[in-house]
Structure 1
Amino acid sequence: MKRCRMFSTFTTAGLALLLAGCLRVGPDYHPLPPEAPPHWQAPALTAAVPATLQHWWRAFEDPRLNQLIALALQHNTDLRLAEARLRQARSQRLQQQAQRQPGLDGSAGYSRNWASPYNGGGSSSLYQAGLDASWELDLFGGLQRAVEAADAAVGAQQAELADVQVSLLAEVALNYLDLCASAEQHELLRQEIATRSTLLTLTRYREQSGQVTALETTQARQSLAQLQAQLPAIEYQRHRAGNALATLLASPAAELEKLLADAASLPPNRPALAIGLPAEVLRRRPDIRQAERQLAQQSAQVGVAAAELYPRLSLPATLGLVAPRLSQLLRSDRASASLSPQLRWSLLAGGRLRAQLAEQQILLEQQLLHYRGQVLNAVEETENALQTVSASDRQQQHLAAALAAARAVEQLRQQQYHAGLSDFETVLDSRQSRLSLQQQYLTSRQEQLRALVQLYKAAGGGWNPATERTTDNHG
Structure 2
Amino acid sequence: MRNCHQRFSKPLLIIIVIFLLMGGCAVVGPDYLPPDICTPDSWQADFGGAEDVTAPDPSRLESWWANLHDPILSDLIDQALDQSLDFKQAVSRVREARARRGVSDADGFPILDLSADGTWSRSGTQAVRQSFGGAFDAGWELDLFGGVHRAKEATLADLQAEVANLADVMVSLTAEIGLNYIDMRTYQSRLAVAKANLATQQETYELIQGRYAVGLSNELALQQARYNLESTRSRIPSLVTGGAAALNRLTVLTGKPPGTLNALLTQPHPIPTAPITIAVGIPAEALQRRPDIRKAERDLAAQTARIGVAEAERYPKIRLSGSIGLEAGKLADLLDGSALFWNHGPRISWNIFDAGAIRNTIKVQEALQEQALIAYETTVLEALEDVENAMTAFAQEQLRRMRLMRAVQSAQIAEKLSRDKLSAGLINFSDVLDVQRTLLSFQDQLAESDGSVTANLIRLYKALGGGWSPSMLDKGASTP
Shared fold, TM over 0.5: yes
| Number of equivalent positions | 465
Deviates most, 57-66 or 327-336? 327-336
Tell me by how many angstroms 1:256 deviates. Answer: 0.9
Quote the RMSD (CA, aligned, Å): 3.4
Paired residue secondary structure (1:336): strand
Look up the SS of the partner of 1:399 in the other structure. Answer: helix
In structure 2, C-alpha distance between the alignment counterparts of 1:430 and 1:470, rounded to whole Å: 56
SS of residue in 1 equivalent to 2:112? strand
Counterparts of 1:63 and 1:473 in 2: how far apart (Å)?
28
The structural deviation recorded for 1:460 is 1.3
In structure 2, the residue matched to 1:314 is 319
Letter in 2 for 1:308: E
Aligned-partner Cα distance in 1 for 2:219–2:424: 27
CA contact (8 A) 1:107 1:130 kept: yes
Q: Distance in 2 between matches of 1:466 and 1:71?
A: 16
1:344 corresponds to 2:346: no
**Pairing partner for 1:95 from 95, 100, 103:** 103
Superposition deviation, residue 113 in structure 1: 8.3
Q: Give 1:15 deviation, angstroms.
A: 1.7
The separation in 2 between residues aligned to 1:300 and 1:58, in whole angstroms, is: 41
Larger displacement relative to structure 2 (171-180 or 425-434): 425-434
Equivalent residue for 1:69, pick from 65, 73, 77: 77
Match of 2:205 among 195, 200, 209: 200
Aligned partner of 1:219 in structure 2 is 224
Provide the secondary structure at the position in 2 that maps to 1:108. strand
How far apart, in 2, do the equivalents of 1:457 and 1:191 lie? 35
1:428 CA displacement? 9.5
Counterpart of 2:136 in 1: which secondary structure?
A: strand
After TM superposition, the structure 1 = structure 2 runs for residues 4-403 of structure 1, keeping only pairs within 5 Å, are 9-22=11-24, 23-42=26-45, 43=47, 45-46=51-52, 50=57, 51-110=59-118, 127-270=132-275, 272-323=277-328, 329=334, 332-403=337-408
Say which SS state the counterpart of residue 341 (structure 1) adopts.
strand
Asked if structure 1 preserves the Cα contact closer than 8 Å seen for 2:251 and 2:258, the reply is yes
Give 1:174 shift.
Answer: 0.9
Shift of 1:89: 1.2
Q: CA deviation at 1:190?
A: 0.8
For the 8 Å contact 2:248–2:259, the answer to whether it is kept is no
Gaps of 5+ in 2: 1-7
The 1-side partners of 2:83 and 2:355 are apart by: 53
Uncovered stretches (5+) of structure 1, i.e. residues with no partner: 1-5
Letter in 2 for 1:449: T
Note if contact 2:53-2:280 (Cα within 8 Å) is conserved in structure 1: no
Contact 1:34 1:282 in 2 (8 A): no
CA contact (8 A) 1:199 1:428 kept: no
Relative distance call for 1:271 and 1:110 in structure 2 (3 A) is farther
Structure 1 residue 383 displacement after superposition: 0.6
Aligned partners of 2:78, 2:369: CA distance in 1, in Å? 39
Q: Decide whether the 8 Å contact of 2:193 with 2:440 is kept in 1.
A: yes
What does residue 443 of structure 1 align with? 448
Once residues 336 and 248 of structure 2 are traced to their aligned partners in structure 1, the CA distance between those partners, rounded to angstroms, is: 75
What per-residue deviation string (whole Å, max 9, x for no partner) do you get for residues 98-150 of structure 1? 1111101001234678999x87x8x9975421011111101111111111111
Whether the 8 Å CA contact 1:323–1:329 is kept in 2: the answer is yes
AA in 2 matched with 1:376: L
Number of the residue aligned with 1:3: none
* Other structure's SS at 2:31 match: coil
Equivalent residues of 1:155, 1:472 under 8 A apart: no
SS at match of 2:135: strand
Which residue identity does 1:96 align to in structure 2? S
TM normalised by structure 2 equals: 0.87
Listed one character per residue, the Cα deviations across residues 354-379 of structure 1 (whole Å, up to 9, x for unaligned) are: 11111111111111111101111111
Is the Cα–Cα contact under 8 Å of residues 111 and 138 in structure 2 kept in the other structure?
yes
Equivalent pair of 1:107/1:129 in contact (CA under 8 Å): yes
Do the aligned partners of 2:274 and 2:454 also contact (CA within 8 Å) in 1? no
Q: Which amino acid aligns with 2:16?
A: G
Displacement of 1:454 in angstroms is 1.0
Q: Is the 8 A contact 2:273 2:454 kept in 1?
A: no
Q: Identify if the C-alpha distance between structure 1 residues 330 and 169 changes in structure 2 by more than 3 Å, giving closer, same or farther.
A: farther
Q: TM-score, normalised by structure 1?
A: 0.87
| Separation in 2, partners of 1:432, 1:360 | 64
Task: Give me the whole-angstrom Cα distance separating, in 1, the residues matched to 2:475 and 2:34.
Answer: 17
- Contact 1:35/1:375 (CA < 8 Å) preserved in 2? no
> Contact conserved, 1:159 with 1:286, CA < 8 A, in 2?
yes
Q: Distance in 2 between matches of 1:420 and 1:311?
A: 104
Question: Residue 4 of structure 2 corresponds to which residue in structure 1?
Answer: none
Measured against aligned partners, the alpha-carbon deviations of 1:43-98 in whole angstroms (never above 9, x if no partner) come to: 37329995521100111100000111011111111111111111111111111111
Partner of 1:132, secondary structure, is strand
Letter in 2 for 1:230: R
SS of residue matched to 1:66: helix
> Which whole-Å CA distance do the structure 2 matches of 1:471 and 1:35 have between them?
33
Deviations 1:13-39 (A, max 9, x none): 222110122211100002225432111
- Kept in 2: contact 1:389–1:451 (CA 8 A): yes
Question: Partner amino acid for 2:44?
Answer: Q
Task: Note if contact 2:224-2:433 (Cα within 8 Å) is conserved in structure 1.
Answer: no
Taking the aligned partners of 2:333 and 2:477, their CA distance within structure 1 comes to 51
Cα contact 1:132–1:317 (8 A) shared by 2:
yes
TM-superposed CA distance for 1:240, in Å, is 0.3
